[in-house]
Every structure is written in C-alpha cells, then in structure tokens.
Structure 1
Amino acid sequence: MELIQKYFPNLLDQQIYKLSSLKNLYAYWNTYVNLISRKTFNDFYQQHVLFCLGIAKVFSFYPGSCVMDLGTGGGFPGIPLSIVFPHTKFILVDSIRKKIKIIEKIIYHLHLKNVFPICIRAEKLENQFDFVVTRYVKKIDIIHNWIKDKFKYKSTYKIQNGAFYIKGGNLYDELKRFPHAVEYPLNHYFNEPFFITKKIVWISNI
C-alpha cells in the first residue's frame, strides 16, 4: 500500500483505508473464485491496483460521468478507480456470474456507492457511457467493435468520449487500425521495472 501512497500522496484517509483493505478482501475471496492470478498476488498493489490506477495519472474522470469497466473480472480496473474517483459512476461488466456475485460482496464491504456490477456480455448492453476502461480482455480491434456504439453522442468534457485500454508489450499491430490512438507509457509515471513495457492507450470514439 506504501507504493500507492508514494504515487498518489493526496488521497483522503477514507480512500487510503478502502485501498488498503483490498488485499485482504481479495485474499479471502480468491480462495473461492479465481478473481485474480494467484501467481501475482504477492505483488498485488503493484500489478493490480497501481497498474489500474495508471489511468488516473493520464486522466481525471469528472463528477457525474459514467464509465464502463468492460470484462471487469475481479473488479479491475473499476474498483480501484471508483475509490479514487468517488463521484464518478462505474458500471462493472462481466459475463461470468460467480465473479460478479463476489464483486457485489466486495463493493458492499467497502461501502462503494458509485459502483454497479452487471452480469452481461458487453456487446448486449443497451446503456451508453462517457468512457470505457478495460484491462487485458481482448485485442483492441475486437473490443472496439463491441463498444463502438456504446458511447454517449455528446461529450460533456474537454476530450471526446472514448476508451482507455490498460495494456503491455508491443502494440504496433493492434494499433494499425487506430492512427489517432494515444499511448501513455507508464514508466513515465512509475519507476518500478514492472512498468517498462506497460502503457495506457486512449482511443476516442470518433
């Protein structure tokens, strides 16, 4: 948790408490359902929480906006982001019901009032969103086809509505179709070697 406070020194006490509670909660529920990889659990705050909060280093979601976390799995990146942005609404979407059921319990325990999990395939959702966030779900072109009609037509912020992809490795082939994509290397924000190949990719919906 010290790693989170190192890079986010302005968190409120309540935010620190909720973020610091995550590891024990996931340690407990991970014994029932594989929410996150057990191989990475010892590095929970770096590989899961801080990695997801990389989005918060490149963009601040505004109060009242609505964000879909596509393929949320164990609640990442939606749950860490919802703690940092408590006035933004997060819809956590996944097609695996047993994961959604446990995410509901984690949300209840943390008293997160701005998080709403839904068990559904993203392409079947009829809702519209200001932004989409997703980590390691599918290749970008596949996800883009799922979400291209899920955005609100009018942007109410200084940038166009669109999606943030949390990715790693060489994305040259994935981004060929998206010349307007913007890559944010996370090693510009975090010093740890884990982030050398990690990045946030922003693609607007136009």
Structure 2
Amino acid sequence: MMKLINKYFKELTDIQRQQFELLGPLYKEWNKKINVISRKDIDNIYEHHVLHSLAIAKEFHFKDGTNILDFGCGGGFPGIPLAILFPHCQFKLIDGTGKKVMVAREIAKAIGLHNAAPVHLRGEEEKGLYDFVVSRAVMPLPDMFKIVKKNISKTMSNAHPNGVICLKGGQLAQELKPMGKQVEVIPVSNYFEEEWFKEKYIVYSY
C-alpha cells in the first residue's frame, strides 16, 4: 500500500520511501505479540494510520530544528510517520502504556529513525518545552490542552504559532466549545480523497 503514500507525497527520498515500506510488515509482526492496532484494522495500516498521521504534514510544514511532542503515541502514531517525513525535526513520543512505547521504540530502531525518542511517560510528568504537541484522539481536546499547555514553548520559529495539533473524527462542535476562538478545524478530505477521511479533521489550537 505504499502507493497511497507515494500518491500524496511525491518528494520522498529513497531512505524515507524505504522506511515507510518497512512500517507495514513491522507493525503486522509486532501486532501479533502486542495489540497496538485493532486486529481488524491492521490490513489498513497505510491508509488509516500512516497516511492519517501524515495529514498533519499537509497543513504544517515544520522547519528544520522544530521540537515536537507526540502525546499518547500508542504504538507510534502520528509521531513515527511524521519523524520519517521531517528528518531534521526532533520528536519525543510519550505514552502511559509501557508495552506500546516499547513497540514504537523497536520500530523506530528497526527502520533507523534517529529523530524519534519513544518514552514511557504520562503527559502530566512531561516537563520539556516544544513548538508543537501532536496527538491522535487520545482524549477530549480541552482536557488534553490543560495537561500540555505547560509544554508549549513561547519561542516561535514556524509559520504557524506554536500549539496543539490533534487528529480527530466525528462531530466536534460540543467538544471544542470550551476552547474559545483560537481553534481551527481543517477537514482531512481537503488533502486526501479516500472515503475513510470524510469525517476526519485536523484540530489546531494555539
């Protein structure tokens, strides 16, 4: 299913292409031992997980040297696909479930990904400062924002102001009400035409 990645990301280097190609077999292998992706969904790994993670890159072009925290990374999404795409940015991936972090760590090592550091840590315990915090529907955005706002650096170097970038699905109006005006909701279908992305959104809060 690398066709899907190539369809939307034509400028990949040989190394990036190779790293993306390795993700499918590696996740399938690990998923037999530790369930990081729903068993029913593992065959859709490129569309539902890798490409979905990369939707962020269609809206945000992180400058070299950008520091990014993946909050609640699970087995490594969206952090690992984004780290492949932005090799000169630094990614720290954290999750409270040690087994999932171990899978993310082993996969990063297996594909030679040196700019992604998966760590077994809860968001409340993370002390570092980052330009952006990324996440995939870990919890309601207002709750997540309370935890991670302490981690967002005041020093800006990207075109977008520093903030939280979340991949979410479904009806979001109620959930986002407490967030006030500084929230943008961008349909993933702006970038990807596959049916699965119809009700998927990038939610950006700054």
Q: TM-score range by the shorter chain?
A: over 0.9
Structure 1's unaligned 5+ residue stretches are none
**Is contact 2:88-2:115 (8 Å) kept?**
yes
User: How far apart, in 1, do the equivalents of 2:150 and 2:27 lie?
Assistant: 33
TM-score, length of structure 2 as denominator length: 0.96
Residue 131 of structure 1 aligns with an amino acid whose one-letter code is F
Residue 58 of structure 1 aligns with an amino acid whose one-letter code is E
Q: What do residues 76-130 of structure 1 show as CA deviations (whole Å, max 9, x unaligned)?
A: 0000000000000000000111111222211111111101111110111111111
Q: How many residues align?
A: 204
Residue 75 of structure 1 corresponds to which residue in structure 2?
76
Residue 135 of structure 2 aligns with an amino acid whose one-letter code is T
RMSD: 0.9
User: How far apart, in 2, do the equivalents of 1:187 and 1:157 lie?
Assistant: 24
Q: Are residues 1:53 and 2:54 paired?
A: yes
User: How far apart, in 2, do the equivalents of 1:159 and 1:43 lie?
Assistant: 31
TM-score, length of structure 1 as denominator length: 0.96
Identity %: 39
> Shift of residue 158 of structure 1?
2.6
User: How far apart, in 1, do the equivalents of 2:154 and 2:53 lie?
Assistant: 26
Residue 62 of structure 1 corresponds to which residue in structure 2?
63
User: How far apart, in 2, do the equivalents of 1:175 and 1:187 lie?
Assistant: 20
Aligned pairs (5 A) from 1:147-158: 147-158=148-159
Q: What do residues 46-100 of structure 1 show as CA deviations (whole Å, max 9, x unaligned)?
A: 0001111000110111111110000000100000000000000000000111111
User: How far apart, in 1, do the equivalents of 2:22 and 2:74 lie?
Assistant: 19
Residue 5 of structure 1 corresponds to which residue in structure 2?
6
Q: Are residues 1:163 and 2:164 paired?
A: yes
Higher helix share: 2
**From 192, 201, 204, the counterpart of 1:202:** 204
Tell me, what secondary structure is at the counterpart of 2:173? coil
